[in-house]
Amino acid sequence: ATPTSIMVGTGRGAELGVLFRKGDALQALKDASVVAVDKTGTLTEGKPTLTDIEIATGLERAEVLARIAAVEAKSEHPIARAIVEAAEAEGLTVPAISNFESITGYGVAADVDGVRVDVGADRFMTKLGLDVSVFADTAARLGTEGKTPLYAAIGGRLAAIVAVADPIKETTPVAIAALHTLGLKVAMITGDNRRTAEAIARRLGIDEVVAEVLPEGKVAAVRKLKAEHGKLAFVGDGINDAPALAEADVGIAVGNGTDIAIEAADVVLMSGNLNGVPNAIALSRATIGNIR
């Protein structure tokens, strides 16, 4: 590409709300054949709400929810906010906690009135040596509905399965369709439950799903997709997306994302939605196109 075509392309990008932080990103985007996208906060709003709660036999719903909310009140995760808001909406008194722990990619734990409470993914319960099979049917149904199933243990015994749902951004379906029209493959990379991720991918027509990825696994997922499909653009918004943004041929941060993601990116979508990605790719083809 000539310096002039890069200048023109970068200028037009700015008009479209696509900020090229590095000049060679425009060139690299033109050659992209796969776009990998983080789910939470990128495809979805990143603002889940609590939708379901099922309590183990013999326990009391309000008490279990209050204890779960007590632990989640100390967490920064969007899932945590959903649970705390639901408890508040029900007017529950949330007890004080101590010894809070956050186990990234798994869940959270704390002592509530001297009793250990653990909340997180099925793999967290498995790690604690708990069997979640009593809730297997419920978990399967929730996943198929595109909801994220989570489990709670109180005093080392399985106490509940809860679910949160995070709506797909209104702008996402059109953006995915536009990427397909441009001939790109679209993949989703997420720490979320496999069934949940697959349900959402199916709704959006996403071609490939890499689910239940631990934060450090996102880079390995990017490498694998690059090896399989060629030049890759990764789109993400979170702190945990920064290494994957750096690993991709083109890292694209959603503009309302965290500063750390923006710092790691080559391109920033000022609009905060995914439509900037097909726009940027079309722009790179139009401006860099045949000028070599």
Q: Which residues are near ligand ADP by CB under 6 A?
A: 39-40, 72, 75, 77, 79-80, 104-108, 119-121, 148, 150, 190-192, 215
- Please say whether the beta carbons of 29 and 266 come within 8 A: no
Q: Which is nearer to ligand ADP, 240 or 279 (CB)?
A: 240
Q: Which does 108 bind (CB under 5 to 8 A by kind): ligand ADP, Mg ion, none?
A: ligand ADP
Site string for Mg ion, 208-237 (x = CB under 5 A): -----------------------------x
Q: Which of 41, 48, 149, 276 binds Mg ion (CB under 5 A)?
A: 41
Determine if 278 is a binding residue for Mg ion (CB under 5 A). no
Residue-wise DSSP of 177-237: HHHHHTT-EEEEE-SS-HHHHHHHHHHHT-SEEE-S--TTHHHHHHHHHHHHHSSEEEEE-
Closer by beta carbon to ligand ADP, 148 or else 273 = 148
Q: Which residue is nearest to ligand ADP (CB)?
A: 191
CB atoms within 10 A of CB 189: 28
For residue 140, the minimal CB distance to ligand ADP (Å) is 16
Catalytic residue chosen out of the listed positions 38, 122, 192, 249: 38
Which H/E stretch holds residue 164?
strand 157-165
5 interface partner picked from Mg ion, ligand ADP, none, CB below 5 to 8 A per type: none
**Known catalytic membership, residue 31:** no
Choose which of 10, 27, 40, 273 interacts with Mg ion (CB under 5 A).
40
Scan residues 174-203 and list those touching Mg ion (CB under 5 A): none
- Nearest residue to 52 (alpha-carbon basis) of 179, 134, 148: 148
Residue 80 contact among Mg ion, ligand ADP, none, beta carbon within 5 to 8 Å by kind: ligand ADP
Element (H, E) at 244: helix 242-247
| Backbone dihedral angles phi then psi of residue 95, each to the nearest 5 degrees | -70, 160
Nearest residue to 32 via CA among 266, 241, 195, 261: 266
> Which residue shows structure tokens 């694209």?
252
By CB under 5 A, which span of 33-41, 49-57, 164-172, 227-235 interacts with Mg ion?
Answer: 33-41
The pairing of strands 250-254 and 267-269 is parallel
